Homo-oligomer: A and B are copies of this chain.
Amino acid sequence: MGTESDTYRHAAEILTRGESHRVWSLIVTIFGDLAQAEGERISGSALTRLVGLMGVKPEAMRVALHRLRKDGWIESLRAGRGSLHELTPYGRAQSAEASPRIYDPVRSYPDRWHLLLAGTGEMSGRAQLEAALLTGDYLSIGPQAAMGPGPMPGDTGALMAVETDRWACPDWVRAQVCPPPVLAQYDALHRDFTRLVAMLDADATGLSVPEAAALRLLVVHCWRRLLLRHPDLPAGFFPDGWPGSKCRGLFCSLMARLPSPTLNRLESSLTDPDSVSAALS
């Protein structure tokens, strides 16, 4: 990886910080960003060169692709001497579900939420509360309660249910939604995204097409990975000073500065000898 541009090397360094991204998850990011629509495929060679720019070895990528096929995310087809990879319908659905949370310039949430409450006895909905929490749609609030978006369900069985359009969140709930280590990661991401925007503005033309694509994907991946560390909730659930909205604003600025290439343009740029030499060196 010795022939990348200085801008790319510095930018990628900021986003990786010596931390190795999980390849499985990185490939999910790549397909979600570049090839989410039905029929969109990425060739094995282009994918190898793209992840190579992010420091991922071909063997690691093959292992990850194998696991993604086993888990039903990715389908691979032989094409001549190479192969083509695409999301399965399941993978597409998962990507589509995650996309608004990642890409929306401003997150919007329902006006109404609901709270489920269990009592202490066996017949007081404990098991139902556990089941609700397992869906991932609820925020656990202490041992007895869970809060979820939208109106309350029609049949709440043994649970007390309360529908609400107004609430106040104390510090202990905010710290549970976004604990200090996650808040620190937000602060770091805010600094990193700020630096990246400045770097790109200072050197707008210094990136090759594959570099711009790789950088975009690293940005999406860092952002997506941090979002997954906490539940999807309005700002009022987060600690004071949480820079979530500012980070989202910077993320959108970076997306505008690093627009997604068409798959054709990316494929041809990655099979262009200069790019290839950069990607494989």
Contacts and interface: CB of A to CB of B under 8 A. Distances in A.
Interface in A105-164: 115, 117-121, 123-125, 141-145, 147, 151-152, 156-164
B115 A172 contact: no
A120 B145 contact: no
A168 interface: yes
Contacts of A124: 142, 170, 172
Contacts of A166: 151-152, 162-163
B158 A172 contact: yes
A173 interface: yes
Contacts of A152: 166-168
A256 interface: no
- Which of A156, A166, A176 has the largest number of chain B CB atoms within 10 A? A166
Given A115-B115, A164-B163, A170 B145 contact: no
Nearest to A144: B144
Count of chain copies: 2
Given A142-B117, A143-B144, A172-B123, A162 B158 contact: no
A235 to B, nearest CB: 16
Given A115-B115, A143-B144, A162-B162, A121 B172 contact: yes
Contact of A125 (B121, B151, B170): B170
A162 to B, nearest CB: 4
A170 B159 contact: yes
A165 interface: yes
A109 to B, nearest CB: 15
B120 A143 contact: yes
Max chain B C-beta neighbours (<10 A), residue from A120, A121, A159, A160: A160
Nearest to A124: B172
A13 interface: no
Contacts of A176: 119
Nearest to A168: B161
B143 A145 contact: no
9 contacts: A142-B144, A142-B160, A144-B145, A145-B145, A147-B162, A156-B168, A162-B162, A163-B167, A164-B164
Given A117-B144, A142-B144, A143-B143, 5 more contacts: A118-B142, A124-B172, A152-B166, A162-B162, A163-B164
Interface of A: 115, 117-121, 123-125, 141-145, 147, 151-152, 156-173, 176
